[in-house]
Amino acid sequence: MFDLNADDGSVRKRAYKSPIPEAPDPRPVSSSRLDNAKYSRLHGRLVDLYTRELDRQFENRMDQAQDADFYDGLQWRPEDAKVLQDRGQVPLVYNVISASIDWVTGTEKRSRTDFKILPRRKEDGTPAERKTQLLKYLSDVNRSDFHRSRAFEDAVKVGIGWLEDGVEADSEEEPIYSRYESWRNMLWDSAATEPDLKDARYIFRTKWVDLDVAMAMFPTRRDIVARSAADNDDYIALDAYGDEAMDSQEIAMDMAGQSMTSDRINGYQRQRVRLIEAWIRLPTNAPKMRGGMFAGELFDPLSPGHKAEVQEGEADVVTGMTMRMHVAILTTAGLLYVGPSPYRHNRFPFTPIWAYRRDRDNLPYGMVRRVKDIQEDVNKRASKALHILSTNKIVMDDDALPEGTTPEEFLEEASRPDALLLKKKGSELVLNADRDLSQWHLELMSRSISMIQQASGVTDELLGRKTNATSGIAIQRRQDQGSLATAKLFDNLLFANQVQGENQLSLVEQFMTEKKAFRITNMRGTPEYVEINDGLPENDVTRTKADFVVSETDWHSTLRQAAVDSLLEVMTRLPPQVSIVLLDLVVENMDLPNRDEIVRRIRAATGQRDPDQQEPTPEEIQQQQLKSAMDQITMAKAIGEVKKLGAEIAEKQAKIAEIESKLPSNRVDAQQKALAAAVEAIAVPPAAHIADHILAESGFVAQSDKDKAAIGLNQPPPGGSPAPAPSQPPSQEMSPGQSPGQPVSPASHQPAPLGIAAG
């Protein structure tokens, strides 16, 4: 067989413990050292801080517990309820505030936010995308949305809710976890004012653990654990280290303070130990990164990103005093564990979600606190009105009853619906006196219910109830006003999401060092398989630093819908071509299922690009490559057509040159034939003028015309056209004494043809 603990490399080991060094000794404090004077003083200091904070927050924690009871319908104090029951009056509960609380918490459940990881450098875009996918996977397996909703419910009810993000090396599930923590178990530095508690010095968490489990967790401190269980076995005597809000589930008492059956039976008694977990900042010399993208972080010698930046000279390691986070686990009897925080971010692993904070002491309170007194008034008036309507109040003279009738018998008869009452004549007897007071109690109760809605900001319009607002615009404006009244709660939740996301991202960059393949799904359930740390630089999530950003605030659904309605109204007035360009942005702001897919298809059809996208998607790269290939094919075709046309032009030019080379011989033959014809025409005097036309048509040019052309006499005037050739034969000169209209005889004047004479 083989050894699972072998160190020769044959067994693959997974180490999730932080490798961050701590000066002077990075190892947790050994069990033998926890009992020396130094750590005894530390234990006393931690217990002192814990008890002081418990005293300071005691009154407010009692009110918080009562606020939680009011939401659950436990709205009568035990002593007040007993008085009413002794009086025969029913302690009614009209739980009006629960509807307001449920609307706020339901709005958060309906519009959970999304996030994305942004790189700090352009070349780190792919690793940032892998981190986004990894955080979404962790959110799915840890059910982070449901834990966040539970914490937000605590914040709305009692004023504060808590989320925890950490690493469990021996977990059967994912080592990085995110879960809800009850407000009842948490105490913090109430002097801190920052919403993320970055200025706080300490945070305490208490847990009740069975004795055998605690001994298994700390086997070297079994004596301390056993002594703590023996001291704390009587839960009622725990007021020094707990309060009712913290120990209400452990105290085996009923509401009247009487012991339960399990306390009166001898036998097995469940032994429990109160473990106190303290996270405290202590001044310590520790190495930190200076410069580079990891500036300010505690130096981790096993981090690939830290080592790479130091080796490349982009950052260096400096050692100096810093407020280093430490964790200690203790009981009232002694310390069980002390060591530096395993987390590189050097923050508290707890993220608070606030509702409202009291200005005088920074202590939290929720929506219930603002309307609790009004809710008590509603219950008391409803109980009083019912009592008045269901009982008989009688005013009578002392001698009004007949002889032999006792007051008890008369009261019993008067309480019957078919009562028959006899009295003496002349005596006064009035039944149901002050019965009219019931309607005034009901009227005041209705006003108190309206006051609860006004104080909480959750009006009837937000709840979808019918009101005196009839127009759509009036209802929408009242809904907007109600949303603004509760906007602080959702703004605090947005801040908590940002802080928690930064902590989760830091844990991923520190502890996700091994190769991992996982699956994520989109909102339509389509799976996508992702691999990280597979050896490729773009899939390494530990070498780079990124930033967590909350990308949407969907809880402003009313305001978003109002903005969409306004934008749709504007689009109806724009030209169609402009409306098409804006269509993807309008749909992107709508609350629609498969909204992202609809927007993607619209942009694919209209050719628009995602304005938030910095790098092209694989589809866009493929489309660009296809377009480039098509452009090259089109260009090649155009070049081929041009070459073909050039060849045709060259061929035609060759033919023209061949024809032009034959023109002189053809012209000479034509002119010779024309000259012979002209000579024959001259032989006939009436046709002598035809000889010039024959020569001109054959291309013959007289020498006189050449001379005139040489000196420009035959050129047309500037801007004009050459004079048209006369259609009539040239005019003949008149002989002396001849009248202008008399024809000239051929014998008297026979000029020679121009072409022959010039020749």
Smallest CA-to-CA distance from 362 within 199, 122, 145 is with 199
Split at pLDDT 50, 70, 90, the class of 2 is: very low
- Are 326 and 214 in contact by the 8 Å Cβ rule? The answer is no
* Amino acid 523: pLDDT: 61
**CB atoms near residue 554 (< 10 Å):** 16
Alpha-carbon span 355 to 633, nearest angstrom: 64
* Amino acid 331: pLDDT: 92
Mean pLDDT (the chain, rounded): 76
- The phi and psi torsions of 438 (rounded to 5 degrees) equal -65, -40
Alpha-helix residue ranges (DSSP H) falling in 457-519: 460-463, 472-485, 487-511
Say if residue 204's pLDDT is above 90: yes
Mean pLDDT across the stretch 518-542?
A: 79
* Amino acid 739: pLDDT: 45
Alpha-carbon span 509 to 520, nearest angstrom: 19
| pLDDT, tens only, 16-67 | 444 444 444 445 566 668 888 899 999 999 999 999 999 999 999 999 999 9
User: Do you find a cis peptide bond into 24, omega within 30 degrees of 0?
Assistant: yes
| pLDDT, tens only, 215-255 | 999 998 998 998 888 655 455 454 568 888 888 877 654 44
Say if residue 747's pLDDT is above 50: no
Q: Which one of 113-127, 409-423, 472-486, 675-689 scores highest in mean pLDDT? A: 113-127
**CB atoms near residue 756 (< 10 Å):** 16
Say if residue 576's pLDDT is above 60: yes
* Amino acid 742: pLDDT: 45
Say if residue 265's pLDDT is above 60: no
* Amino acid 328: pLDDT: 95
Lowest average pLDDT, out of 477-486, 626-635, 638-647, 709-718, goes to 709-718
Beta strand ranges found along 154-220 (DSSP E)? 160-167, 176-181, 186-188, 202-210
Alpha-helix residue ranges (DSSP H) falling in 684-735: 690-697, 703-711
Say if residue 178's pLDDT is above 70: yes
User: Is the four-CA dihedral 171, 176, 180, 185 of positive or negative sign?
Assistant: positive
Q: Which residues of 192-207 are buried (b: 16+ CB within 10 A; e: fewer)?
A: beeebbeebebbbbbe
More confident residue, 669 or 559: 669
Mean pLDDT across the stretch 337-364?
A: 93
| pLDDT, tens only, 545-555 | 888 888 654 44
* Angle, CA 275 vertex, CA 270 and CA 277 arms, to 5°: 160
* Amino acid 729: pLDDT: 45
Say if residue 360's pLDDT is above 60: yes
* Amino acid 469: pLDDT: 53
Alpha-carbon span 201 to 140, nearest angstrom: 33
Say if residue 364's pLDDT is above 60: yes
* Amino acid 263: pLDDT: 54
Could you give the angle at which helices 437-456 and 367-390 cross, rounded to 10 degrees?
170
Name the DSSP class of 236. Answer: G
Mean pLDDT across the stretch 310-324?
A: 88
Lowest average pLDDT, out of 76-90, 281-295, 318-332, 349-363, goes to 76-90
Q: Report percent pLDDT > 70 for the chain.
A: 69
Alpha-carbon span 344 to 471, nearest angstrom: 56
Q: Which one of 232-236, 294-298, 357-361 scores highest in mean pLDDT? A: 357-361
More confident residue, 572 or 263: 572
* Amino acid 622: pLDDT: 77
Alpha-carbon span 285 to 19, nearest angstrom: 16
Say if residue 402's pLDDT is above 50: yes
Mean pLDDT across the stretch 411-429?
A: 72
* Amino acid 653: pLDDT: 82
Say if residue 740's pLDDT is above 60: no
Cα-based distances in Å from 673 to 334, 418, 521: 140, 152, 98
* Amino acid 201: pLDDT: 95
Contacts of residue 434, defined as CB under 8 A and 6 or more positions apart, other chains included, come to 388, 393
Split at pLDDT 50, 70, 90, the class of 703 is: low
Say if residue 283's pLDDT is above 50: yes
| pLDDT, tens only, 621-633 | 777 778 888 888 8
Mean pLDDT across the stretch 393-400?
A: 76
